[in-house]
Amino acid sequence: MAALSTASPSPVRTLQRAALLALLGPYLISGVVKLFDWAGAQAEVGALTGLTPGPLLALVAAGVIGLQLGASAWLLSGQRGAWLAALALAGFTLAATFLAHTWWQLPPGADRAHAFNGFWEHIALVGALAFAGVISYREDIA
């Protein structure tokens, strides 16, 4: 996804940028919300990781914010190597999915069905991010 130029973008490029923004929207929103709700960010990370309040939890929460915002911005920028950002977000999402959507631990019912659906929706995000990474890589080497 080559860097933005001053030339008028093609309809395909515009659609590609809009799709990428839609894909990255949850990461951008989550990162900004965490940035402005530091206590909530630490609570969320602590609940998912089992980390207790302290320097390590703060470091991991800051890392999550940095990854969500930094990798999203890098991928949106289309700068060289942005495919690494896509893969970083895919890996992060895969790990978070197995921490947050543990449907297999729930008894049958609505909560399990909800977690099951959330799990597979996040797996789809992993696939979409990997695909965005492939597209970005191809443009890097072209």
| pLDDT tens digits, one per residue of 9-53 | 789 889 999 999 999 999 999 999 999 999 999 999 999 999 999
- pLDDT tens, position by position, 78-133: 999 999 999 999 999 999 999 999 999 999 999 999 999 999 999 999 999 999 99
Rounded distance between C-alpha atoms, residue 35 and residue 49, angstroms:
19
Query: pTM above the 0.85 mark?
Result: yes
Rounded distance between C-alpha atoms, residue 54 and residue 96, angstroms:
21
Q: CB–CB of 122/101 below 8 Å? A: yes
Determine the pLDDT at residue 13.
Answer: 87
Show contacts of 99-107: CB within 8 Å, 24+ apart: 99/48, 99/49, 100/48
User: What stretches of the chain show up as alpha helix (H) in DSSP?
Assistant: 11-36, 38-49, 55-77, 82-100, 110-141
